[in-house]
Amino acid sequence: MAPTTYEIYKELEREERFAPQAGATQESSYTTWRERAIGRNLRRGIAIIIGCWLAYFLYLNRLYAASIAQGFKNNMDGVSLDHDATANAAVSEQTNRVALEAHIMSKCPDAQDCLQKLVVPAMEQISDKVDFELSFIGSVSQKTSDVECKHGPTECIGNMLMLCAANLPFHSDNSASSLVSPVPRTPVIRSLGFANCLISDYEQIPSRSLVESCSLEHGIDFESLNRCASHEDDNLDDPQDPTPDDPSGIALLRKSIKHSEDVGVKTSCTVRVEGKVWCVRDGGEWKDCYNGSGVSTLVEEVERLWQQKN
């Protein structure tokens, strides 16, 4: 047991009774010896106190480490459960979303107006409630399967760049979609932003500086985008082409054009909701709109359909 301050003081008092050292005067010898005794006992007391505090600190540290380990285990259990719940919710939400689709040509002024005045503003409010798709209009030769675009080959390149941006593999540890699909696609907020960026300056498509700038702005890897758009071998005989992990721009464009043909869409830009034409932008005017061309009207309709589905 550590000595108390009182016991240390009594020890000093006892040691002070010893005679002074030989050869020294009474006063000087007594003073020097007394200082040494005080210093020695003070050092001993301080060492004992420090030792006690050190032992106490180590004890507390062990208790803290044990509590942290237990808390970490509990947190990981909670994260696992929450992660599974989030994944399941994402699957459910994905199947109950409202289908929203815009059919465009990348170098069409009507498509620019359509995206900037209707689609993008609406998506800012309903992106979590829709399954959005950007499709393209063109023609595919029945004999050679060659693709043609109304505004020439540069428009075909622009179309492919937008499709590639939407279909590049995207991996994120924080995204629940990574649990739902083995090869998730680029989030719509990025791919639509990239498409809108390109079409804002559609006369310059496919200028490298424009594509690089839009890629950087919206977090799209330019090299992957360029590789996809430059893909020459699209394996026409392979029904699985384009593959999710190695998309081909020409295959994606051919598939998208055929889809627009199959649903009977020929005008850029045509917006469809749940498979039905909602509104058409043609010749600088809104036409055949189901209930007006306003953003709020489209948002209200999507929210109404979403409520029905959920």
Q: What is the pLDDT along the chain (310 residues), one digit of tens a residue?
A: 545 444 544 454 454 444 444 454 444 454 555 566 566 666 777 777 777 666 665 655 555 444 444 443 343 344 333 333 343 344 444 569 999 999 999 999 999 999 999 999 999 999 999 999 999 999 999 888 899 999 999 999 999 999 999 999 987 655 444 444 457 889 999 999 999 999 999 999 999 999 999 999 999 999 999 999 998 766 655 655 556 678 899 999 999 999 999 999 999 999 999 999 999 999 999 999 988 889 999 999 999 999 999 9
pLDDT of residue 48: 76
Which residues on neighbouring strands pair with residue 99, listed in sequence order? 131
For the record, the structure tokens of 99 come out as 């289908």
pLDDT of residue 238: 62
pLDDT of residue 82: 39
Burial 1-15 (b: 16+ CB within 10 A, else e): eeeeeeebeebeeee
For the record, the structure tokens of 110 come out as 């009507």
For the record, the structure tokens of 127 come out as 């992106």
pLDDT of residue 189: 93
pLDDT of residue 61: 53
Tell me the fold of 105-171+183-309. Glutaredoxin (3.40.30)
> Look-up: residue for tokens 């599974």?
84
Nearest alpha-carbon partner for 225 in 163, 286, 268 = 163
> Look-up: residue for tokens 């399954």?
131
pLDDT of residue 232: 74
d(CA 258, CA 138): 8
pLDDT of residue 137: 98
Nearest alpha-carbon partner for 36 in 57, 53, 21, 51 = 21
Q: Is the peptide bond before 206 cis (omega within 30 degrees of 0)?
A: yes
> Look-up: residue for tokens 């409202």?
98
d(CA 4, CA 74): 44
Radius of gyration for the chain, computed over Cα atoms and rounded to the nearest angstrom? 38
Q: Which residues contact 191 (CB under 8 A, 6 or more apart)?
A: 134, 162, 165, 166, 185, 218, 220
d(CA 187, CA 239): 25
pLDDT of residue 62: 56
d(CA 127, CA 143): 39
pLDDT of residue 41: 66
For the record, the structure tokens of 157 come out as 């390149």
The upper half-sphere exposure of residue 53, i.e. CA atoms within 13 Å in the direction of its Cβ, equals 6
Q: Is 104 left (phi over 0), alpha (psi -120 to 50) or beta?
A: beta
Question: Helices 188-199 and 208-217 meet at what angle, rounded to 10?
Answer: 150
pLDDT of residue 39: 67
Q: Is 288 left (phi over 0), alpha (psi -120 to 50) or beta?
A: left
Nearest alpha-carbon partner for 281 in 112, 124, 120, 130 = 112
